[in-house]
Chain A
Amino acid sequence: MDYWFDILNLVLIFSIFTISLNLLVGYAGQVSVAHAAFGAIGGYIAAYLSAKADCGFWTVLATGTAGAGIVGVVMSLPALRLAPEYLVLLTIAVSSIVLTIVGAVPALGGAYGMVADRAADLSPLSGGELLFPHQWVLPLIGFTVFTYLVCHRMGESAFGRVLRGIRDDEVATRALGCNIFATKVVVFGLTSAFAGLAGVLLYFYNQIASPSVYGLNVSLKIFAMTIFGGLGNFAGSILGAAVLQLLQPMLEKIVRLDPGHAFLIQLVIYGLGLVVLVRVRPQGLLPEGASLWHWRRRPQATPATVVETDAPAISPAGASPSRGAGQMDETILKVRGLSKSFGGIHAVRGLDFDLSRGRITALVGPNGAGKTTVFNLLTGALTPDAGSIELLGENVRGLPPDRIARKGMVRSFQDVRLFSRMTAAENVMLGIHEAAAEFWRWPSGTRGGENLVDLFLRPGEARRVEERARTHALELLHLVGLASFAETPAGALSFGQQKLVSFARLLGTDADVLLLDEPASGIDSRWVDGILDLVAFMRDAGKTICIVEHSLHVVERLADTAIFMELGRITAQGTIAELTRDPRLAEVYFGTV
């Protein structure tokens, strides 16, 4: 019987690894093949403290977990800016560094590792010393459930929504005011801490900490378990750990082999099994959104069919007024001397312009004039070389995009950049933040489930904020005429509908200044009117709007003033009528109007 308990225990310990790795890879999209190395940090801290400092089980467990978490935070700092394939490399490097250090330091036992001189002792909890596999089962179930609950709470909340945003489109997530760096640091730290916890448990369970127990191939095995279980699904992670961990003993029982070669043949079958399993179910055993218990699915994760409807029915009547209750025509954004060059090319030079509340300004000009660069500079996606950007009297030049978004200037993207695997409502909710300045609202600086304190310690508050966000998101979707598509994955909507969702998302941020990149391009002409009505409504609601648009029809209908750009400079400013009267401009840009 102890044989099966032993396997069960290993499944449980590896589940702690896979669940936490899934939060990192499946939710946050950060690929790591160093998970076992973080286990090594926990395991070796545990081994060293119990041998040299005579610490009890719980002290050792806490220290090992915290130690791995701290190293995880340190690793996250260089990881913040890296593309996924470089992240694989970085984590391989971290894994090698950790294993080399523990394998080369004589005090840690070198290549042989450290053998434990005592069993795990749960006291003051009942249960005492854990000497046999069956005694381990309950405590390990406890640790696994704890890991599951914490990771599930983080994954399936406002915090998890930000993680999935980072995974699917980092730039768009940032542009909606989410502090992605802090979120990544937290998720790296926490998942590493859980790996450390599993490492400590593995040390006490095996009674040894050695470099091979936590080697790169163990990290790869954990990675394979997680992918095979299903990314973005924690139940799948447990299942993945169980299936791959059970594959070997099952083979041992089923296939009767010449004992001399049995082990090798099992490994061959194991390897082939991996190839076959991933071929049969590339999405994993339980894909994102699938549930083990009901086989019920959340709205399909993959775009199914395009839902096409009639032109949008914009219903601004029931809309909630924005905070922009200030005076119309008040100057909101003041740009002076804005310049940016790439190498020797001056993309934007010495731009001066103002944007006022309740006014729509169009940025027009031929391709390559630098219009989109201006948006990138204003929102912090690019850092200006010179000049100032004053938003409501405060210079925001040089601030990161998420800070600028939270200060009240957001942009839309020409190619909308919705999160196609999230529902329309979730897309809008990702832009809705209730700002809170208290330092402990960490890591997001917002109220509700996006900060871990509210998420774990004030669940009522987190729930109320989430409900408010959902209600507001539904209002906004109603406003753009898409209330009935709230639960449809954004990827299944038509391009026009996606554009409308992206406007709802912008309104959700409650920003004063909206920069719209080609709001009407790529859309059926029936839809254009609806979208223009929406932009006009936003203006009337007190927003400050700047559009980049090629369609002269749109510019004429919407814009109060236009800024004409050529080769990075403003060459004319005024009303559309004034600009079209200028013979030179008429020739170079407007053609014969």
Chain B
Amino acid sequence: MWLQQVAQLAVAGVVNGSFYALLGVGFGIILGVTGRFHYAFALVFTLAAFVTSTLESAAGWPAALAAAAGLVVAALLGVAIERFIYRPLALFSGPLSLLTVFISSLGVTIAGVNLITLIWSAESRTLTLVPLISLQAGDVTFTSLDLFLVATTWALIAALALLLRATDLGRAIRAARGNPALARIMGTDPGRIYLVVFAIGSVLCGTAGILNGARFAVLPDMGDRPVVFAFVVAFLGGTHRSPFVIGIAGLFIGLVESLSGYWVTPQWTSLVVFTVLFAYLILHPLDLRALRTLVAAARLSTRRA
């Protein structure tokens, strides 16, 4: 009996975790490459869902086309915010730019979310991506949408990993992430790379928003909580790491949140997540060093043997 319950929770954890992974990867690549603390991630997330929902339910577009339009709008918004708000501000504010970009991002989000409410009203909207079918595997149930979400997420993460690893654009992005000054000398224009990165991050973010809208509802404040999870996952995974590492951090958060539901009531699960995060932050400078020494020692001893 308990096994079935745990399995059910684990499946829910994988679904939520994949959602967090998508958010974390999108936020992580933006923060890692451009250094912008992009709080307006929440706005991109929400706008993509609203556009898709409007085109799909109100205008009667096919779901795939509506979602594509939503993603284009998301990418354009992300790129526009970088080009017309963050970049001039960062040039203007020098060493303070981390903080000023954060504040300005906050302002963009407040203005944008309320503008969305003005245009669309605060009413909850629906969005249907795939026909909702309940599936069964053993004693565990899940929906077709859950399956679609997990598949889309990991396909996108794999695509991004491939892009970063195997293409010229990807190499340029990694160069800009590692050493912007050197990348400039080597002939890549970091400004253009930043725009590309904002487009990529916004598409991932918009996808998460559309999926979230399809799972629950499309609401103006739907981005508030996900943006916090995007921070958490991106930092936990490390913004300079491969998308898979960040993705696994997201999966971990989702599983912790979901499985803790076996012991505690739902309103306490986020406490469990943040306590785990807190513990990680306390321990990680220590255990990472310890781990590295251990690995080095192991490697040395095998070499000697």
Contact = CB atoms under 8 A, between A and B. Distances in A.
Interface in A78-108: 78, 81-82, 84-86, 88-90, 92-94, 96-97, 100-101, 103-104
B163 interface: no
Contacts of A279: 85, 88-89, 92, 104
Given A274-B104, A343-B296, A344-B300, A92 B92 contact: no
B235 interface: yes
A593 interface: no
Contacts, number: 131
Contact of A92 (B97, B232, B282): B232
B112 A227 contact: no
Interface stretch (A259-267, A326-334, A393-401, A568-576): A259-267
A101 B271 contact: yes
A386 interface: no
B103 A278 contact: yes
Contact of B232 (A89, A227, A271): A89
A92 B228 contact: yes
B128 interface: no
A104 B265 CA distance: 10
B86 to A, nearest CB: 10
Contacts of A217: 224
Contacts of A273: 107
A44 interface: no
Contacts of A271: 106-112, 114
- Which of B89, B111, B118 counts the most chain A CB atoms within 10 A? B111
Given A100-B274, A270-B111, 5 more contacts: A265-B118, A268-B115, A268-B118, A271-B109, A283-B96
Contact of A268 (B98, B104, B114): B114
B114 A93 contact: no
A270 to B, nearest CB: 6
Nearest to B88: A279
B117 interface: yes
B107 A89 contact: no
A53 interface: no
Nearest to B264: A104
Given A89-B277, A224-B103, A282-B93, A96 B299 contact: no
What are the 4 A-B residue pairs with the smallest beta carbon separation, nearest first?
Answer: A271-B111, A274-B107, A282-B93, A271-B110
A272 B107 contact: yes
Contact of B106 (A85, A224, A343): A224
Contact of A275 (B85, B98, B267, B292): B85
Contact of B270 (A82, A94, A100, A224): A100
Instruction: Determine the main DSSP class of B at the interface with A.
Output: helix
B104 A278 contact: yes
Contact of B103 (A216, A227, A264): A227
Nearest to B98: A84
A169 to B, nearest CB: 13
A228 interface: yes
B106 A264 contact: no
B92 A274 contact: no
Nearest to A87: B281
A220 interface: yes
- Which of B37, B108, B114, B270 counts the most chain A CB atoms within 10 A? B114
Contact of B299 (A78, A265, A270, A344): A344
Contacts of B108: 271, 275
A86 B282 CA distance: 11
Q: How many B residues touch the partner, as a band?
A: 35 or more
A228 B103 contact: yes
B148 interface: no
- Which of B88, B104, B110 counts the most chain A CB atoms within 10 A? B110
A136 B85 CA distance: 40
A89 B265 CA distance: 25
B216 interface: no
B103 A343 contact: no
Contacts of B93: 278, 282-283
Contacts of A100: 267-268, 270-271, 274
B293 A89 contact: no
Contacts of A274: 103-104, 106-107, 110-111
A231 B98 CA distance: 13
- Which of B37, B104, B275 counts the most chain A CB atoms within 10 A? B104
Contacts of A86: 235, 281
A92 B231 CA distance: 9
Contact of B292 (A96, A269, A343): A343
Contacts of B111: 267-272, 274-275
B100 to A, nearest CB: 5
Nearest to B220: A264
Contacts of A82: 281, 285
Contacts of B100: 227, 278, 282
A279 B109 CA distance: 16
Contact of A89 (B99, B103, B231, B282): B231
Nearest to A110: B267
A103 B277 CA distance: 19
B281 A278 contact: no
Interface in B75-134: 85, 88-89, 92-94, 96-100, 103-104, 106-112, 114-115, 117-118
Interface in B240-283: 265, 267-268, 270-271, 274-275, 277-278, 281-282
Nearest to A94: B278
A86 B234 CA distance: 11
